[in-house]
Amino acid sequence: MLNQVKAVELALLVGGKDYRALRDALSEMHEVDVAQFIEELPKKQSVVLFRLLPKDQAMEVFAELSVETQERIASAVTDDELSDLVEELAVDDAVDMLEEMPAALVKRVLKTSSHETRSLINQFLHYPDDSAGSIMTAEYTNLRRDMTVEAAIKRIRRTGEDRETIYNCYVTDDSRLLVGVVTVKDILLARDDETVESLMETNIISVATTEDRETAVNLMAKYDLMSLPVVDAEGRLVGIVTIDDAMDAMQEEATEDFQRMSAMAPSERPYLRTGVLSMARNRVLWLTVLMVSAMITGYILGLYEEAFIALPLLVTFIPMLTDTGGNAGSQSSTMVIRGMALGEISTKDAPAIVAKELGVSLLVGVPLAVVNYARVLIGYPGQAAVGLTVSLAMLITVGLANTIGGILPILAKLFRADPALMASPLIATLVDAMSLVVYFTVATLLLPV
């Protein structure tokens, strides 16, 4: 692993231009660590260092670099070298890179790549972002059902290029329809003269290219799959999602949800490597939208000016009431958003959610209301009516907050928006306004204001 001591040691060699020792040190390292070290170097030196790597390692390291660094290197190498690098990339990674590159460089990459790679790239460019198609790889082991185990092992030995793609083999018929799956283990444990057909599983779990990548990942997690076949609209096999890509997608999807749920535009770059400017850009839009919404809450509060001038004590309970409402609402919305992301909750569960949230709000709201009543009686003797007002407002607020928190993510889904937007910040803002209306309505009914 690349730790700080190792990184300093390497940097000293770079600084001293001791390229022979550097090359030796790098050749012992994992490609992921070499890539990480390259990312930490100044731009110019990163290209120098990359060009020091022996060809095989260079290709492995290239696949692990960020798109920015890939672009810098692509601009610096010859056409032949560029062609080698692109041919060696998995098609999905090549597409990710091309989508971010300037047009001139894209043209050069496509010009230097083989006809086959070019047409695969064009095909992949059409899959929607975040679809199963966009994270699949076109390299998989394909068997025919009439093959013997002996022939199958030969074919696996000949074609098994990437370690993650050989363990499940896919059986297709003449029109490329997916008809079975067989594991390398089953093949290894069988007799040489058995046929693939006799070993294969025909009850196949697969996804369509256009399906959400989250669906693909959830299926793989649920059924413990090492790879998942991806088929086109006619059921023809076009690629597979391997588990390492699924794991990366799972991590990215969760990160995106964390960011959306805290009112930020999602970004894949690690925090420490994101610039202050782009970080501010990701945050300011939602902050402004929510601030303007909170102005409406302020306006509502202004409408009750007479009430709180008549009884200023009322004001001191506002933060407690609005905060608790916001917290209760975001508890519900988080549970529902996460459940939807994991495929455990669908839109048809709305009635069950409302019932459950109302139940929870009663169980949670009553103790909170009691605590408040007791607190007012102790802190402000003789103000029992104020205590009753606060307690009642609390109970109603929690009920509303839980219901809204539970149902808004479902509504978002129905309107094809991301449920993760219906999280804490937005819910809290909505509940704020509502809890004030509830509070002052109850107050005008129960108190002389």
Q: Which of residues 16-45 bind a copy of itself (CB under 8 A)?
A: 28-30, 32
Between 189 and 445, name the residue whose CB sits nearer to a copy of itself.
189
CA 264-268-269 angle, 5° bins: 105
x/- site string to a copy of itself, residues 280 to 319, per CB under 8 A?
Answer: x--xx-xxx-xxx-xx-xxx-xx--x--xx--xx-xxxxx
Strand partners, 181: 170, 201
Using CB under 8 A as the binding rule, whether residue 189 contacts a copy of itself is answered as: yes
Residue with Cβ nearer a copy of itself (133 or 325): 325
Three-state SS across 192-246? CCCEHHHHCECCCCCEECCCEHHHHHHHHHHCCCCEEEEECCCCEEEEEEEHHHH
- In the list 55, 128, 270, 374, the residue contacting a copy of itself (rule: CB under 8 A) is 270
- By beta-carbon proximity to a copy of itself, the closer residue of 209 and 424 is 424
- Identity of the residue, 40 or 116, whose beta carbon is nearer to a copy of itself in the bound complex: 40
From the number of C-beta atoms within 10 Å of its C-beta (0-12, 13-18, 19+), residue 375 rates as middle
User: Helices 243-261 and 213-222 meet at what angle, rounded to 10?
Assistant: 120
* 112-151 residues near a copy of itself, rule: CB under 8 A: none
Contact (CB, 8 A) for 285 and 259: no
**Residue 310 near residue 386 (C-beta atoms within 8 A):** no
| Per rule CB under 8 A, count of chain residues that contact a copy of itself | 112
Query: How many Cα atoms occupy the beta-carbon half-sphere of 373 within 13 Å?
Result: 15
d(CA 289, CA 48): 46
Among 88, 375, 388, 411, binds a copy of itself (CB under 8 A): 375
Least separation in angstroms between residue 364's CB and a copy of itself is 5
Under rule CB under 8 A, residue 235 binds a copy of itself:
no
Q: Which span (115-123, 129-137, 159-167, 230-238) binds a copy of itself, by CB under 8 A?
A: 159-167
Determine the straight-line distance between the first and last CA of the chain, rounded to whole angstroms: 69
109/404 with CB nearer a copy of itself? 404
Q: Is the Cβ of residue 33 or residue 109 nearer to a copy of itself in the bound state?
A: 33
Q: Per-residue x/- mask for a copy of itself, residues 326 to 355, rule CB under 8 A? A: xxx-xx-xxxxxxx--x-xx---x--xx--
Residue 259 near residue 267, CB atoms below 8 Å: yes
- Check residue 108 for interaction with a copy of itself (CB under 8 A): no
